[in-house]
Amino acid sequence: MNSFKKNLLKKRYNAERRFQWYGKIAIGLALSFLAVFMFQIFSKGYSAFQKTWIVTEVHYDKELLLIDAESPSKDDLENADYYDVAYKAMTSLDPGLPEEEDRQLIQMVSYKYEAEVKDLLLKNPDYLGKIVPIKLTASDDVDQVHKGNYPRDIPEQNRRVNDYQLQIYDMLNERGDILSEFNISFFTSPDSREAELAGIASSFMGTVFSILVCLAFSFPVAVLAAIYLEEFAPKNKFTDFIEVNINNLAAVPSIVFGLLGLGVLLAVFNLPRSTPLVGGITLSLMTLPTIIIAARASLKAVPPSIREAALAMGASNMQTTMHHTVPLSMPGTLSGTIIGLAQALGETAPLILIGMVAFVNTIPGTPVDPAASLPVQIYIWSESAERGFVEKVSACIMVLLAFLILMNLAAQIVRHKFEKKWS
């Protein structure tokens, strides 16, 4: 081998080695971006899954509750006045505090503390007249202090928790009367203006309903369109034109579909605003082309020999399609559908336009009840100034990501488990 040839060979090997390194670096970069992103979200968001409680004692004094009956009924308890009892439960933490300063203590728990006091008695009617310990939801400021997210060393006038409240907090914490437990209410409560009470139940249900509506509208339409175009439609300029348009539709920015939803569904058809029904239909416009393209691709992937076999047996076009081609294409179609829905799951812009951005503090029971959706909830919370919402945003992102990962996993499983391999 002469030296020229040797050199050439060496160059070729070097080029290949370099190329492999470029690829490795690219993958490394992508993975590190993902790692940074995940770390950011998890480090900020994990604390939202903990809820801080303040433990104090409440005296269910019949006199203060304004209950006259000897053995009060459920209604009596329901209609009793809990203001004083709840107020006393909080102010008893520091009996020496002058009355005009009491707000400082009351502000350490959520504004719903009176309801919490009431709920405990309604659940345990025999507490009446007794002094019992009670857990009250800490305000988001105390919650953030407890989680260490709130700097204590900045000047008092810039702090939402003043020195006196910090002193009470430290005293309670030393006594072990500050509890940190798993935050169930984050999953069971609707949105709230108060960070400590806000939950994702409304937006989660809104997302679930939207996706279901989206599936119900887009799947049948898309599959029928794909079957017709792929198996029955004549191949001519007009069907080419339709195909180009479907491909274009897949690339249209989602906000345009939002405007369409606003202009047609709300303005012309007068469907109820801010509801998953409208949101789902708008999203289905987006998923429609995705599903059509996936369904056509998987119909195309069914080998022509299967169609020939069926046709040669005397099956009609319809029988060939329904007995053989469509069942064989279903795994691909389904996984395409799930991926289309996963895309729709993360859509924010069109939902904002059709009004799913409204503040909803009820949990929707049907697709025609007003609701938010997870991505919109992230948007709403990220706009809020309060520190308590920062961790909620990350926690909501985590829930959305978990939802997405589950759906993509389902798509993978459907594809690998049921797809026929053609040798």
Partner 1 sequence: MSKIKAENVNVYYGSKQALFDVSIDIAEKEVTALIGPSGCGKSTFLRCLNRMNDVIEICRVEGSIKMDNLELNSRKLDVVRLRENVGMVFQKPNPFPKTIYENVAYGPTIHGIAQSKEEMDQIVETSLKKAALWNEVKDRLDEIGTGLSGGQQQRLCIARAISVSPEVILMDEPCSALDPIATAQIEELIDDLKKEVTIVIVTHSMSQAARVSQKTGFFHLGKLIEFGPTDKIFKNPDNQQTQDYITGRFG
- Please give the residue ranges that form the binding site for partner 1 (CB under 8 A): 234-235, 303, 305-316, 319, 323-324, 328, 420
The dihedrals phi and psi of 65, each to the nearest 5 degrees, come to: -75, -10
Nearest distance in Å: CB 234, partner 1: 7
Tokens 């690829």 belong to 23
Nearest distance in Å: CB 304, partner 1: 8
Residue 306 or 401 having the CB closest to partner 1? 306
Residue 285 or 328 having the CB closest to partner 1? 328
Give the Cα separation of 390 and 382 in Å (integer). Answer: 7
CA nearest 109: which of 201, 35, 179, 22?
179
Residue 151 or 303 having the CB closest to partner 1? 303
Nearest distance in Å: CB 417, partner 1: 15
Residue 14 or 319 having the CB closest to partner 1? 319
Residues listed for the chain: 423
Nearest distance in Å: CB 323, partner 1: 8
Give the Cα separation of 15 and 148 in Å (integer). Answer: 53
Give the Cα separation of 74 and 41 in Å (integer). Answer: 46
DSSP-derived secondary structure for 231-262: IIS--SHHHHHHHHHHHHHHTS-HHHHHHHII
Nearest distance in Å: CB 419, partner 1: 11
Give the Cα separation of 247 and 255 in Å (integer). Answer: 17
Nearest distance in Å: CB 6, partner 1: 45
Give the Cα separation of 246 and 242 in Å (integer). Answer: 6
Residue 137 or 320 having the CB closest to partner 1? 320
Residue 95 or 314 having the CB closest to partner 1? 314
Q: Which residues contact 106 (CB under 8 A, 6 or more apart)?
A: 87, 90, 91, 113
Residue 250 or 311 having the CB closest to partner 1? 311
Residue 7 or 317 having the CB closest to partner 1? 317
Nearest distance in Å: CB 332, partner 1: 14
Nearest distance in Å: CB 309, partner 1: 5
Determine contact, residues 286/347, Cβ cutoff 8 Å: yes
For the CA atoms of 343, 345, 346, 349, the dihedral, rounded to the nearest 10 degrees, stands at 100
Instruction: Please tell me what DSSP assigns to residue 198.
Output: -
Give the Cα separation of 349 and 321 in Å (integer). Answer: 38
